Amino acid sequence: MPRNVEIKALVKNFDALRAKAAKLARAEGTLIKQADTFFVVPNGRLKLRELEGSEAQLIYYERPDAVGPKLSNYSISPVNNPQSLKHTLGQALGIVGEVKKERWLYLVGNTRIHCDRVQFIGDFMELEVVLDQQQQLEEGDIIAKDLMEKLGVEEKDLVHGAYMDIILSKIKN
């Protein structure tokens, strides 16, 4: 199963973050519009990701809901009929909710920098340090922390959980 080290942080100045990410990536980034539907599952998380202009994906992942760098194990399957699959999985498992976002993607080495505008909850930054089979979690932590510093992300801005968790928490309060 593929692995990566992830961090997620709240962003105060979205345009400044995007400028720093573009400088690190030496590219303007790619805009991706996404809608993720989360399903009720006993372990991990299961989501159907619909991408504007691209094939949808069914993504299963396991990741602790901790603040700071954390290991994520995931599996991705392409989906050619997302509406039918969403309906079927919704009937079989139940739907937790939906997350809609505009994501600017920047690539720096083996790391994906995501600058996300998430509907209902605001602006966030996510790092995904993709690990190869030989790399250890500690190496991913070092890369993530180095990029956090270069992007001006502070420890106090880190958040835990998925966007879906933040949305559900906001709805409850």
pLDDT, average across residues 3-22: 95
Q: What is the pLDDT of residues 84-140, one digit of tens each?
A: 999 999 999 999 999 999 999 999 999 999 999 999 999 999 999 999 888 888 999
Model pTM greater than 0.95? no
Q: What is the pLDDT of residues 36-66, one digit of tens each?
A: 999 999 999 999 999 999 999 999 999 878 7
d(CA 147, CA 24): 9
Q: Can you list the domains of the chain with their CATH numbers?
A: 3-172 (2.40.320.10)
The 3-state DSSP class for residue 50 equals strand
Q: What is the reported pLDDT for 58?
A: 98
Mean pLDDT, all residues of the chain? 94
d(CA 86, CA 88): 6
The 3-state DSSP class for residue 86 equals helix
Q: What is the reported pLDDT for 136?
A: 87
> Is there a contact between 73 and 62 (Cβ–Cβ < 8 Å)?
yes
